[in-house]
Structure 1
Amino acid sequence: MMKTIRKQSNRIGIALLVLVASLGFTSCEDQLDLEPIVEQSAANVFDDPAAYEQFLARIYAGFVVSGQQGPAGNPDITGIDEGFSNYLRQYWKHQQLTTDEALIAWNDGTIHDLNWQVWTPANEFITAMYNRIYFQISISNEFLRATADVPESEFLPAAYKAEVRFLRALSYWHAIDMFGNVPFVTEQDPIGAFLPTQGSRAEVFDFIVSELTAIEPIMIDARQNVYGRADKAAVWMLLAKLHLNAEVYKGTDQSAQAIPYLENIIGAGYTLHTDYDELFLADNDTNGAQNEMIFSFNSDGLNTQGFGAMTFLVHAPVGGNMSAAAFGINGGWGGIRTTKTFVNQFPNGAMSVDDRANFFTDGQELEIADVFNFNDGYAVEKFKNVTSQGVPGSDASGDFIDTDFPVFRLADAYLMYAEAVKRSGQGDQGLAVQYVNLVRQRSNATPIGGFSEITDEFLLSERSRELYWEGHRRTDLIRFGQFSDQGVWPWKGNVENGTTTEAFRDLFPIPSTDITANPNLTQNPGY
């Protein structure tokens, strides 16, 4: 049962995607060319009871696959290379390339605008991220619309609808985190062509919280669902994320409200895996790391093939003198590495005794004189397509990856608890210290001596040391006021030693194509 969703995800739900052509969100229709393979209608698509699980699996798969056939050739969205269009690949780029943790050597289109923080509303990668978010929201809405009057049964348990509402809430969180005030559509809106209104960031925040609160009792208990599917703990984690970032989203400090949800997670039986490196290997669903995973985006080298998601995150960081075979792949892409700002967060840099300092330095320079040269900047050895026994992943070609991406894991919850206690003045300071030290001791980092050491600077750095390249950094930097007009790192602002950028870049622009198509939308300030 552990990989039920992933084994089906690239083969099922194909015909169901025809429904998205009438989703009721059409202001981006010039970018969303779904080209369904089999024509069906909402009236008959669920004639086969198995279709409920198939459609659910396709919604989950939307985070890791890029189209309807795999690995490429029939994309969900157009206007950009299909491999580039993948949800996880785009989300990772927006959360990581805009920060001190990652720099890309390629010169594809306007990709370096993300590194340099000089993007415009015409940036094709920002447009792809936006379209991908709304593709996921759209197919979630259609599932909920089509099943609204279907009674609960063995084929459609109540948890299915709750899981889809969670996945939609997750995408809406990504939307408000990156774009602020966004188009807002649910299953209650009509199908067909109409121009959605723009919900304020605060309004959509309130909707997400209300949705998660409503589905919490319906979700399967923590750690009882199929691996890779959402449960109560995933809901708690997203609620904690929202409340911890509420000052950014709503202008009010709600960090105290995150504490009960984090306590629920910590008390649910998750455990830190003993080996940090094994969290990011091809068998991280079975090697013990799964006991730390709260929610993951699952990959399978045979059944979720594509050139985004984990294929990107394993191939792109390998280049120079690095051994592709050691990563379980047939060759590296020489794309992404890191900056000295991140390296220097570890005592003694790349020579740190902290096990999380996974840097490859042979043939690599710490200083980045040439942003387009992969050898300028230390490489990062984090995600690999080999098992904890050193066996390569299931795809014999070495192209596609078995490693699952950790969306939420226990170590993050421990660090969030410490931050929530620090910000709110509530909770248990002793437990906050204990949780931080559990995380640090796992990787041979020196334990902290007391709560007074849990400063903003420490929290931001510790989150980076523990969670680098897991899609958290941009959101964390913004919450701590270090993203745009304060923090500086190499090549930020397209300056070798870095410079500050305009504060309005804490938000990405609404893509110009959508602003033009929908007069109900207002562009974010500064763009």
Structure 2
Amino acid sequence: MLNNLKKVLFLFFGVTIMVSCTGEIDDLKPINQETSASVFDNPEAYKSFLAKIYAGIAISGQQGPAGNPDLAGLDEGFSNYLRLYWKLQELTTDEALIGWNDGTIKDLHYQNWTPGNEFIRTMYDRILYQIALANEFLRQTSDGVLDSRGVDANLKAEIQTYRAEARFMRALSYYHALDFYRNVPFTTEEDPIGAFLPNQTNGQDLFSYIESELIDIDADLMAPGQNEYARADKAAAWMLLSKLYLNAEVYTGTARYSDARIQAEKVISSGVYSLEPNYEYLFLADNHLSNEIIFPIAFDGLNTQAYGGMTFLVHAPVGGSMSPADFGVSGGWAGVRTTSAFVEKFPGMENSADGRELFYTAGQTLEIENVSRFTDGFAIAKYKNLDRSGTPGSDPSGEFPDTDFPMFRLAEAYLIYAEANVKGGGGDAGTAVGYINLLRARAYGDSSGNIQASDLTEDFILDERARELYWECHRRTDLVRFGKFTSSSVWPWKGNVPGGTTTESFRDLFPLPTSDLSANPNLIQNPGY
């Protein structure tokens, strides 16, 4: 199913999108100065524009690795969607901290950010940019517009699938907006092009919109496993809907655990996906071979050269006495490590029998005396630009990896089922325990790590999610859902205190950027900021 999508996905449409501070497209300006209508006279443009929407969560410009950014005035590595998403989900938690002095980056782990934080602001901008791209694609592919261009019936049917995928990608970005900011400016393809001031939505309305979109596109998405690699299908939409329902109580005040379980069951019962026997294979340069990954963000060392995304996730954790060659790269960036609070999730810590424990400890200290010193804190050797045979990825310079980011995978569907069951969402307790033991049997290599029904508690599930899914952009959302992100738990350097301290509960949400509040009087800042 790979079908060369890593090449197709990044054959750029060749357009520069100008996005206003309110998040909508001001103008669509092809490099050759054609209008969008004339560009779309070419049938291949529809798939190319769709490819640009997918590419927007992987890379951040019109050429790699830098030089023609999507968002003017921002460093391309700094403003990369996945890199920012990872930082906000991981650096704010016990799973990761970074030693660099780039702007206000350390404030993320310290949990003392302000509305002026450039990482929080740029994630917000990147989310709105993605939504603007999807909106424009949907405007240009409406039935009326296609009929006016004389698009034939066969291509129209194909474009209907493209439209469903664009709506999925928009729903994905709106989900990230809901999770991070909640009360964001809201636009769709029905809104006008150009400078206007969108109204602000709220958690309940945005939740309902994402839910309705994912349900509505189901009929037009391809069956699980039938689309090209790294393109959305029904299973990807089921996973996103399951995650939406799993967090519904946070977003709306009403629990939807039964609905979360039902969507996870649909993924599991599809029969298309199976656990990767070797956990480490999920994070290598040929992880596209894994039958466990439901929806990845695709990267290619020759065709997706950027300083964000997986380039960041492979290089930034390598430093100290670590050999870059062991990770398939030319050099490490000596930035990201983990805290003792996360290390302690594994029995035996660095000598755990749990095979998911991928710590690098030589020359590293468990405790962090100096946040800026890479050797303070255990390193994590999870993502590598090596394939299963140990061969480096395709880029001969060793700079840009082939490793894909596993956004949704089967293991999480098992974990969602188990959590929903424990939280009163129905299903079968024995089935829930069985799913967890499938993960633990893989981790331990046998049944020695298996649990009983009495072990399956909320605290266990939160810790098991950390052990299984760490550094995959889940931790902040999980901690917020379990009420342990701000005011009721501590870890090293949380609150800018060596031993950690609690922080204000309003930080369960990020602030809207000061720049957007100044530009749009329709917006009201999130409480506490």
TM-score (norm 1): 0.96
The answer on whether the counterparts of 1:256 and 1:420 sit within 8 Å (CA) in structure 2 is: yes
Q: Deviations over 1:399-432 (max 9, x none)?
A: 0010000000000100110001111251111100
Q: What is the match of residue 474 of structure 1?
A: 476
Q: How far is 1:449 from its partner? A: 3.6
The answer on whether the counterparts of 1:105 and 1:374 sit within 8 Å (CA) in structure 2 is: yes
The one-letter code sitting in structure 2 at the alignment partner of 1:390 is G
Q: How far is 1:180 from its partner? A: 1.1
The one-letter code sitting in structure 1 at the alignment partner of 2:415 is L
More deviation in 399-408 or 4-13? 4-13
Using the alignment, how far apart are the partners of 1:425 and 1:411 within structure 2? 18
Q: How far is 1:28 from its partner? A: 5.3
Using the alignment, how far apart are the partners of 1:418 and 1:153 within structure 2? 43
Using the alignment, how far apart are the partners of 1:480 and 1:249 within structure 2? 13
Q: What is the match of residue 8 of structure 1?
A: 8
TM-score (norm 2): 0.95
Q: What is the match of residue 190 of structure 2?
A: 188
Using the alignment, how far apart are the partners of 1:324 and 1:37 within structure 2? 39
The one-letter code sitting in structure 1 at the alignment partner of 2:192 is P
The one-letter code sitting in structure 1 at the alignment partner of 2:46 is Y
Q: Deviations over 1:66-97 (max 9, x none)?
A: 10111001111134321010000000000000
Q: How far is 1:259 from its partner? A: 1.6
Using the alignment, how far apart are the partners of 2:97 and 2:523 within structure 1? 32
Q: How far is 1:300 from its partner? A: 0.2
Q: What is the match of residue 336 of structure 1?
A: 336
Residue 284 (1) aligns with residue 287 (2): yes
Change (3 A) 1:33 1:320: farther
In the alignment of these two chains, the number of paired residues is 518
Q: How far is 1:34 from its partner? A: 9.0
Secondary structure of 1:262's aligned partner: helix
Using the alignment, how far apart are the partners of 2:240 and 2:118 within structure 1? 28
Secondary structure of 2:260's aligned partner: helix
Q: What is the match of residue 22 of structure 2?
A: 27
The answer on whether the counterparts of 1:418 and 1:433 sit within 8 Å (CA) in structure 2 is: yes
Q: What is the match of residue 494 of structure 1?
A: 496
Residue pairs, 1:38-49, within 5 angstroms: 38-49=32-43
Secondary structure of 1:183's aligned partner: coil
Q: What is the match of residue 300 of structure 1?
A: 300
The one-letter code sitting in structure 1 at the alignment partner of 2:476 is R
> Which of the numbers 114, 124, 136 marks the counterpart of 2:118?
124
Q: How far is 1:334 from its partner? A: 0.3
Residue pairs, 1:158-169, within 5 angstroms: 158-169=160-171
Using the alignment, how far apart are the partners of 1:321 and 1:9 within structure 2? 37
Q: How far is 1:35 from its partner? A: 7.8
Q: How far is 1:32 from its partner? A: 9.3
Q: How far is 1:372 from its partner? A: 0.2
Q: How far is 1:13 from its partner? A: 1.1
> Which of the numbers 110, 134, 137 marks the counterpart of 1:140?
134
Using the alignment, how far apart are the partners of 1:299 and 1:519 within structure 2? 39
Q: How far is 1:437 from its partner? A: 0.3
The one-letter code sitting in structure 2 at the alignment partner of 1:277 is E
Residue 154 (1) aligns with residue 155 (2): yes
Q: How far is 1:33 from its partner? A: 11
Using the alignment, how far apart are the partners of 2:229 and 2:215 within structure 1? 22
More deviation in 41-50 or 88-97? 41-50
Q: What is the match of residue 50 of structure 1?
A: 44
The answer on whether the counterparts of 1:294 and 1:409 sit within 8 Å (CA) in structure 2 is: yes
Using the alignment, how far apart are the partners of 1:273 and 1:84 within structure 2? 32
Q: What is the match of residue 428 of structure 2?
A: 428
The answer on whether the counterparts of 1:490 and 1:496 sit within 8 Å (CA) in structure 2 is: yes
The answer on whether the counterparts of 1:26 and 1:195 sit within 8 Å (CA) in structure 2 is: no
Q: Deviations over 1:123-166 (max 9, x none)?
A: 11111100000110000000001111226533743211000000
The answer on whether the counterparts of 1:33 and 1:76 sit within 8 Å (CA) in structure 2 is: no
Q: How far is 1:14 from its partner? A: 1.5
More deviation in 258-267 or 356-365? 258-267
More deviation in 38-47 or 508-517? 38-47
Q: What is the match of residue 178 of structure 1?
A: 180
- CA-based RMSD of the aligned residues comes to 1.6
Q: What is the match of residue 244 of structure 2?
A: 242
What 5-or-longer segments of structure 2 have no aligned partner?
148-152
Q: What is the match of residue 452 of structure 2?
A: 450
Q: What is the match of residue 82 of structure 1?
A: 76
